[in-house]
Amino acid sequence: MLFDYLSVLVLVALGVGNVLFMVALPKLLRPSKPNPQKLVAYECGENPVGTSWIQYNARFFSVALVFVVFDVEIVFMFPWAVVFKSLYKTQGCVPFWEMFTFVLVLLVGLAYLWAQGLLEWVKSVRKA
């Protein structure tokens, strides 16, 4: 019975073996002549300035987070919209109110974000 899973073992072995092969073979064949100019970090042709780990502003993260939430909301609305006509024939208005509740909950979240000033790039007044 376990022979059914032989193909999985072969797949894993080939996958791991492939990667190891692709890393080991060039390492054996290529010349190694390190040079300070070659080892410098690439920064679009310029000489790198400063450290690479900087502290970026949290507003980028907050914009991305807000985007993801509302994007997922739209993603959920798409399949609902596609089947809505046939749902309306069988279940009447119930699917509409279900989606309405969903959007309403997210609207409350939007209102909160708006009030906290998180929709502005430059936060002017923060509510206490």
Binding site for other proteins (CB under 8 A): 1, 91, 94, 105, 108-109, 111-112, 115, 128
Q: Which residue number, 80 or 109, has a Cβ lying nearer to other proteins?
A: 109
Q: Which residue number, 18 or 101, has a Cβ lying nearer to other proteins?
A: 101
Q: Which residue number, 20 or 115, has a Cβ lying nearer to other proteins?
A: 115
Q: What are the backbone angles phi and psi of residue 35, rounded to the nearest 5°?
A: -150, 135
**Angle at the Cα of 111 from the Cα atoms of 105 and 115, rounded to 5 degrees:** 150
User: b/e string for 42-67 if b means 16 or more Cβ within 10 A?
Assistant: eeeeeeeeeeeeeeeeeeeeeeeeee
Question: Dmax of the chain from CA atoms?
Answer: 74
